[in-house]
Amino acid sequence: MKLLSVLLFCTILSICHGYRILGVFPFSGKSHFIMFEQLMKILAKRGHQVDVISTFPLKKPYPNYNDLIVLPTMRQFMNNMTYAEIKTLFAVSPTQAVATVGGNDVCEILNNSQIQQLIRNPPNDPPYDAVIVEVFGAQCFAIFGDILKVPVIGASSSVPYPWISDCIANPDNMAFAPSNLIAYPQNMNFWQRMYNFVNTIYMKWEFRRETAKQTDILRKYISPDAPDIREVEKKISIILGNSHISINGIKHTTPAYIEVGGLHIHDDGVELPHSLEKWMNESTHGFVYFSFGSMVKIESFPMKFLNIFYNSLSKISPVRVLMKIAKPDELPPGLPKNVHVLPWMPQVKVLKHKNVKAFITHGGLMGTQEAIQYGVPLIGIPLFADQFVNIDIYVRLNIAVELEIDTLTEEKMDHALNSILNDPKYRDTAKKLSRKFMDRPLSAADTAIYWVEYIIRHGANALRSPAMDLAWWQVELVDVVTFILIATIAALYIIMTAIQFLFNLIRSSDSNQLRKKKIS
């Protein structure tokens, strides 16, 4: 009874001191929203009232979580990206794709009637204490900080892209920190460092050029006096990033960048279908899990690739294969008997099952982090965006075998399956990395909660870097180095001039004495 009273008191205390937080996540990428939904849920569980703007309303009610505005889907990505669309959409540079499809186009949602009503009449009973926005391509939504007069907290579902660093003056040490779009190791040679530097600078310039029109969007839908988008970006107080040193390496970071890699990983309240649980338990020789995430339709791949999958997967029997296929009826005939397909499955529960032996993946960060947490080795077949870099990292960490889709053959697929299933080094290394990934002073969830509450308690500028008030040439000490260089050259010039003057004076004196001797 006493324990119950204490728990009840703590719950009431948490609710009484709870904050009201607005989450703005308009981009309709389910893989992105998985992290943001979990972030808002853990804040709600903490006792804060969270209001969410997104295209993904909850299917079941959750205490303190309110779907404030459910946006129409601009582009249906969920289980709807075909092989042909992947090739077309990502034919342009990743920077341009993020800046336009994930940036400018998303900012047009500011014209939504419900968002306009929120902008014109923000709630005051109680008012908001903070706003959390996705930092990806549409940083225009950070304007809510000005509108609501509250701190802005950024959340990135990936390792932040190069242009995100400028929002919080996070230092880019391009000598050993490759861009998250470049598959280089941290120990780069000269030419790799050269390319990393030039490419990163170019990507930042390209993003700034493409997203400059977000200023016009703000002035069109918010106010003619709305600030420039580059100034809006600088209102972000901290960024919660989906990275961790065990995977992404050591990097220079400002305190305003908080690593919460794996925040989304949980299976609380997730039900495992009895038929699937029975299938996994009966897979006594183990099973391989095969999924290309929440967007890609494997069934849309050209027949030559599907034949490779069919033939190679059949050879590993009696090892079974669990395959995520959104529309199984669209698969061509010939599916091997050891392959079981489902349109959806609780991925975390699958990856933590005792009989899972490997994960065939496209390299999405969310899914691969789940595999890392549970020590499952990978076969990576990257398709777009940061997936190439993710898989390259996992190969260097000895937890994955990589296959290129454009050069995929049955022999290569056979070799990858044989290696990942029969070479113990991959599973042993994956288990070691799992322990390292989970060894933290605070869990990802507790870390996120602490720093969100910290900013609300101490204000938007609590972790603001002084570098935000300096020009790039001041941050890089170009002015100081230039001054020292000029001063050094001037001092050397003066010294040389003085030496030459003394030398000439001595020569002149010696010459006069020589003439006097000759006259004498």
Burial of 219 by CB count in 10 Å (0-12 exposed, 13-18 middle, 19+ buried)?
A: middle
Please tell me the distance from the alpha carbon of residue 50 to that of residue 449, in angstroms, as a whole number: 13
User: Tens of pLDDT along 202-248?
Assistant: 999 999 999 999 999 999 999 999 999 999 999 999 999 999 999 99
d(CA 253, CA 250): 9
Of the listed ranges 30-44, 71-85, 306-320, the least confidently predicted one is 71-85
Q: Please compute Rg for the chain using Cα positions.
A: 29
The predicted pLDDT at position 3 comes to 39
Say whether pLDDT at 73 is over 90. Answer: no
**CA 383 to CA 31: how far, in whole Å?**
15
pLDDT at 503: 87
* β-bridge pairing 130-134 and 20-25: parallel
Res. 250: pLDDT tops 70:
yes
* Structure-block tokens of residue 404: 């290129």
Closest among 72, 32, 54 to 158, alpha carbons compared: 32
Is 16 a residue whose pLDDT tops 50?
Answer: no
pLDDT in tens, 450-505: 999 999 999 999 999 999 999 888 988 999 999 999 999 999 999 999 999 888 88
Amino acid 89: pLDDT: 64
Whether the predicted pLDDT of 374 surpasses 80 = yes
Whether 383 shows a pLDDT value over 60: the answer reads: yes
Question: Per residue in 159-214, pLDDT tens?
Answer: 999 999 999 999 988 899 998 888 898 899 999 999 999 999 999 999 999 999 99
For residues 276-294, give the mean pLDDT. Answer: 94
Asked if the model's pLDDT at residue 61 lies above 80, the reply is yes
Average pLDDT on 50-69 reads 96
Mean pLDDT of 284-296: 92
- The number of CA neighbours under 13 Å toward the Cβ of 272 is 15
What's the count of helices (H) and strands (E) in the chain, helices before strands? 21, 13
CA distance 362 to 384: 8
CA-to-CA distance for 137 and 100, rounded, in angstroms?
Answer: 8
Query: What count of residues does the chain have?
Result: 520
- CA-CA-CA-CA torsion sign (390, 261, 159, 353): positive
